[in-house]
């Protein structure tokens, strides 16, 4: 009998001890009256630990995810190397300052000569809408149980994260480089636009190069909330190539390079083109001349690609560069010939005129693993929010309509 009462008193003490400790710590006396069970089965503890492990591990991968995704796009990697990126802490849109006229008070004077103090205009801003990208990482309970050990769980997460990383990297590259053309566009040099979401067709990706550097310089379309047909300072360079020989191709490239170099602001430092056009320029080079860029930093940034030097620019290729002349778009297989674009395009890019802007709190971040109400699984996302901006379109150019059959 005595032993029975002892066990009862001991169990009461054990259940009320945590409440008593909380009461002493907080000063809230009634907490001592609440029995708090410390022992026994807690159904969700195992799965919560698993979810916490996944969330913590994925968060630790976040810096590497950012680097790998960015470096997977040659153009973005180049902008990062040139310091042409910044973070913006939210805001309705992305504002990019630009100068569209010179200061007329610049003058020569001597001694007590009068200085011109005329108020100046000529500075305005372009505005670019935010874009959002996401990719989900899902792990079912079956997969959890099949990979229940710590090392197995991390290995499973790494595999799924690599898959997600490759997918969002390709999506970002398609948004920036390929853009989108409407299927069945009848006229040559149709208007490209930003890619749209597959589940939400009202959501648009970042502005692609084919919009920022248009094949029709005076097209009546708003870029950054400014229409180039109305404001000529906002028109990029654009030339339709008629070259049939290597010499003709290089002459077209020289002319475009020089057109983009006029005035202050430097020259193009990157030329992005399709594979065949890159190969044609390579074949046009003389064997005894060194054109391959070997500078370690550039080779590393361009992911070991064979960057060729054209004057002061690096010439690289990407498989989704569109055909701006005949509306060929690789990602959606529109207007292709035997799986390739019919004519080549070269984007002459001055990196000093571009701004790669990311939201300060949504730059390829990872979310916790949560369990949806209607699925026996855990899901986390990799999220990005940003915009591609430009501040001086006339320092960039499109050389399009390049024949893909030049051999001499």
Q: Which residues pair with 398 in a beta bridge?
A: 238, 347
Give yes or no for a contact between 212 and 350, defined as CB atoms under 8 angstroms apart. no
Alpha-carbon distance 346 to 402, whole Å?
A: 8
Q: Which residues pair with 365 in a beta bridge?
A: 383
Alpha-carbon distance 170 to 72, whole Å?
A: 8
Backbone angles phi, psi at 381, to 5 degrees: -125, 150
Alpha-carbon distance 365 to 77, whole Å?
A: 19
Q: What is the pLDDT of residue 17?
A: 58
End-to-end CA distance of the chain: 108
Q: What is the pLDDT of residue 156?
A: 84
Alpha-carbon distance 362 to 87, whole Å?
A: 10
Give yes or no for a contact between 399 and 343, defined as CB atoms under 8 angstroms apart. no
Alpha-carbon distance 80 to 172, whole Å?
A: 15
Give yes or no for a contact between 57 and 154, defined as CB atoms under 8 angstroms apart. yes
Strands (E), 205-329: 222-223, 226-227, 237-240, 270-273, 308-310, 313-317
Residue 164 Cα to chain centre, angstroms:
15
DSSP alpha helices (H): ranges in 106-208? 141-146, 150-173
Give yes or no for a contact between 124 and 118, defined as CB atoms under 8 angstroms apart. no
Q: What is the pLDDT of residue 300?
A: 65
- How many CA atoms does the CB half-sphere of 49 hold within 13 Å? 7
Q: What is the pLDDT of residue 107?
A: 79
This prediction has a pTM of 0.81
Encode the chain (408 residues) as per-residue pLDDT tens digits: 555 666 566 666 655 555 565 456 456 555 466 554 444 433 333 444 556 666 777 777 777 777 777 767 899 999 999 999 999 998 899 999 886 566 777 878 888 888 888 776 666 889 999 999 999 999 888 888 888 777 787 788 888 888 899 899 999 999 999 999 976 666 688 899 999 999 999 999 999 999 999 999 999 999 999 999 999 999 999 999 999 999 999 999 999 999 999 988 999 999 999 999 999 999 998 765 667 777 777 766 675 567 889 999 999 999 999 999 999 999 999 989 888 999 999 999 999 999 999 999 999 998 998 888 898 988 999 999 999 999 999 999 999 999 999 988
Q: What is the DSSP string of 313-365?
A: EEEEE-TT--BTTTTBBTTTTBSEETTEESSEEEEEE-GGGEEEEEEEEEEEE
Q: What is the DSSP string of 286-301?
A: -TTS--B---HHHHHH
Neighbouring CB atoms inside 10 A of 401's CB total 22
Give yes or no for a contact between 210 and 320, defined as CB atoms under 8 angstroms apart. no
Q: Which residues pair with 138 in a beta bridge?
A: 379
Beta carbons within 8 Å of 36's beta carbon, 6+ residues apart? 15, 16, 18, 19
- How many CA atoms does the CB half-sphere of 58 hold within 13 Å? 31
Give yes or no for a contact between 120 and 107, defined as CB atoms under 8 angstroms apart. no
Q: 235: which 2 tokens? A: 């028109």
What Cα–Cα distance (Å) separates residue 218 from each residue in 93, 188, 221, 400? Answer: 25, 15, 9, 15
């Amino acid at each position: 009998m005595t032993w029975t009462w002892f066990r009862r008193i001991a169990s009461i003490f054990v259940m009320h001890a945590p409440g008593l400790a909380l009461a002493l710590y907080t000063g809230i006396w009634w907490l001592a009256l609440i029995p708090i069970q410390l022992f026994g089965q807690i159904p969700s503890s195992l799965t919560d630990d698993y979810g916490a492990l996944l969330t913590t591990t994925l968060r630790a991968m976040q810096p590497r995810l950012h680097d790998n995704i960015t470096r997977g796009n040659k153009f973005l990697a180049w902008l990062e190397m040139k310091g042409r990126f910044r973070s913006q802490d939210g805001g309705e849109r992305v504002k990019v300052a630009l100068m569209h006229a010179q200061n007329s008070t610049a003058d020569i004077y001597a001694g007590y000569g009068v200085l011109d103090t005329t108020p100046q205009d000529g500075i305005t801003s372009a505005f670019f809408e935010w874009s959002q990208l996401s990719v989900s990482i899902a792990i079912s309970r079956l997969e959890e149980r099949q990979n229940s050990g710590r090392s197995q769980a991390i290995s499973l997460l790494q595999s799924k994260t690599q898959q997600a990383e490759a997918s969002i990297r390709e999506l970002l590259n398609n948004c920036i480089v390929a853009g989108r053309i409407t299927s069945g566009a009848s006229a040559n040099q149709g208007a490209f636009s930003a890619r749209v979401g597959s589940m939400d067709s009202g959501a648009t990706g970042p502005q692609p190069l084919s919009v920022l550097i248009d094949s029709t310089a005076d097209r009546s379309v708003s870029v950054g909330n400014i229409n180039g047909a109305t404001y000529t300072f906002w028109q990029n360079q654009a030339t339709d190539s008629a070259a049939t020989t290597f010499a003709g191709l290089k002459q077209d490239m020289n002319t475009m390079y020089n057109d983009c170099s006029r005035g202050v602001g430097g020259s193009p430092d990157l030329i992005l083109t399709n594979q065949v056009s890159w190969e044609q320029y390579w074949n046009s080079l003389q064997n005894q001349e060194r054109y391959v860029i070997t500078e370690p930093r550039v080779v590393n940034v361009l992911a070991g690609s064979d960057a060729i030097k054209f004057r002061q620019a690096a010439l690289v290729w990407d498989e989704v560069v569109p055909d701006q002349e005949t509306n060929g778009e690789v990602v959606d297989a529109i207007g292709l010939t035997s799986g390739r674009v019919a004519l080549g395009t070269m984007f002459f890019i001055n990196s000093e005129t571009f701004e790669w802007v990311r939201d300060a709190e949504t730059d390829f971040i990872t979310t916790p693993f949560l369990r949806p109400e209607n699925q026996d699984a855990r899901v986390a996302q990799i999220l990005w929010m940003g915009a591609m901006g430009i501040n001086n379109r006339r320092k960039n150019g499109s050389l399009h309509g390049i024949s893909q059959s030049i051999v001499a």
